[in-house]
């Protein structure tokens, strides 16, 4: 699993608070499909704020970069940079 890619605590708090507000608004005050949709969307936004991971940021390549193992990267770079002397 990748590390959190929402680094600002203010952004995380705003996502959680606005998502929770949307859930409450959708469940208590808006009737029908619109209310259900708003509650689900608000729940997803609140989850991204609580977890610190945003799937849309992954699409924008902002975080969760997978790097090769340090030993493998070191072996490849040394073998290409310094060929053995004959």
Q: Please list the rounded mean pLDDT of every run of 10 residues in the chain (86 residues).
A: 83 96 96 96 96 85 55 53 63
Q: How many domains does the chain have?
A: 1
29 in a domain, yes or no? yes
77 in a domain, yes or no? no
81 in a domain, yes or no? no
67 in a domain, yes or no? no
45 in a domain, yes or no? yes
Q: For residue 49, what pLDDT is reported?
A: 94
Q: Residue holding tokens 């990748």?
A: 2
44 in a domain, yes or no? yes
**For residue 19, what are its two tokens?**
């998502």
**For residue 36, what are its two tokens?**
């259900």
pTM: predicted TM-score of the whole model, two decimal places: 0.66
Whole domain around residue 26: which residue ranges? Answer: 10-62
């Amino acid at each position: 699993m990748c590390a959190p890619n929402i680094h600002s605590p203010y952004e995380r708090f705003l996502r959680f608070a606005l998502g929770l507000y949307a859930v409450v608004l959708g469940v208590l005050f808006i009737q029908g499909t619109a209310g259900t949709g708003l509650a689900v969307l608000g729940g997803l936004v609140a989850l991204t704020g609580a977890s610190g991971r945003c799937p849309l940021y992954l699409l924008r390549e902002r975080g969760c970069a997978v790097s090769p193992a340090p030993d493998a990267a070191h072996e490849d770079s040394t073998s290409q940079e310094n060929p053995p002397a004959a």
